[in-house]
Amino acid sequence: MRHIIVCLILLLAAGGVTNAQTPQMLIKEANQAYKDENYNKAITLYDSVINSGMHSAKLYYNLGNAYFKANDLAPAILYYERAKKLKPFNERISHNLEFAQQLQKDEIESLPVMFYVRWWQKLTNLFSLNSWSLLSLFLILTACLFWAFFIASNTITRRRRFFWISLFISVLFLLTLTITLRNYHNIKHEKAAIVFQSVITGKSSPDRDSKDLFVIHEGLKVHVLNKIGDWYEIKLPDGTVGWLPAESIKVI
């Protein structure tokens, strides 16, 4: 009898494993639901995959597309932004994000940025944090190798050549290290969010009875400066600062 009970338990467990859907199966089903224009089902399935712990630019991009097709602008922009955060220079992600942002009601001019700041931003966004980290590691190892060649060289010509090569690679390492640390700081400390309420009024302090400062709409991207209780202090693209209820925005 005991052996029979054990066999039954094993069979039930095997059946549970067989019936359980893997993330890959859910993604395949979600893709098919999207093709069948069943966007709400696709959203549910993509969400379940993300909630299981799987994250990727493609997954965020597909979920953004599903929300966009379902005419839900704010979450579409949110997931496009999350996809772009992982792949900053992906053309399809950037195109769809820009198209969705054009449907956003607020037309707020961004603060002007000096040309060298734009160049630096483009450079730092050229690769992901992991890619910059790996590049920095490669450069420091290469620099150490050439410094060893410099020390071991027994002729002035070779020592001079290895010295300049080592110095150049060391400078590149310091540059990539700076970019890596900057990107790490941005990910950990600088946060942006998407407005999720159709219309929301920014306040002068974290209090519903405080002075009204501005009115913004769903889909607008704002920068998060601080959080007190159930309120976020945010900054608009034009530099205006105010407070919003925490439930009105979602951090990218």
Domain contains 211? yes
Domain contains 161? yes
pLDDT 10s digits, 162-193: 999 999 999 999 999 999 998 888 777 778 99
Amino acid at 116: Y
Q: Are 240 and 106 in contact (CB under 8 A)?
A: no
pLDDT 10s digits, 140-154: 999 999 999 999 988
pLDDT for 213 equals 95
Q: Please compute, for residue 20, the number of CA atoms within 13 A of its CA located in the half-sphere on the CB side.
A: 10
Contacts of 163 (CB under 8 A, 6+ apart): 150
Domain count, the chain: 3
- The alpha carbons of the chain give a radius of gyration, in whole angstroms, of 25
Q: Average pLDDT across each block of 10 residues of the chain; the chain has 252 residues. List them in order.
A: 46 44 89 95 94 91 96 96 87 94 85 77 82 94 95 90 95 95 81 94 94 95 93 93 95 90
E-state strands within 55-190: none
Residues in the chain: 252
∠165-175-152 over CA atoms, to 5°?
25
pLDDT for 20 equals 57
pLDDT for 7 equals 46
Same domain? 204 vs 181: no
pLDDT for 2 equals 53
CATH code for position 196: 2.30.30.40
Domain residue limits at 141:
115-189
pLDDT for 228 equals 93
Domain contains 109? no
Decide: pTM greater than 0.95.
no
Task: Pick the last residue of a domain from 172, 189, 206.
Answer: 189
pLDDT for 195 equals 96
How many whole angstroms separate alpha carbon 115 and alpha carbon 242? 28
Q: Are 96 and 61 in contact (CB under 8 A)?
A: yes
145: which 2 tokens? 């190798």
H helices present in 153-207, as ranges = 156-189
Q: Return the DSSP state at 248.
A: G
C-alpha 21: how far from chain center: 27
Q: Which of 78, 180, 174, 66 is nearest to 129 (CA)?
A: 180
Same domain? 182 vs 212: no
DSSP per residue over 5-47, as a string? HHHHHHHHHHHHHHHSPPHHHHHHHHHHHHHTT-HHHHHHHHH
pLDDT for 10 equals 43
pLDDT for 121 equals 80
How many whole angstroms separate alpha carbon 252 and alpha carbon 203? 22
What do you get for the CA distance between the two ends of the chain, in Å? 56
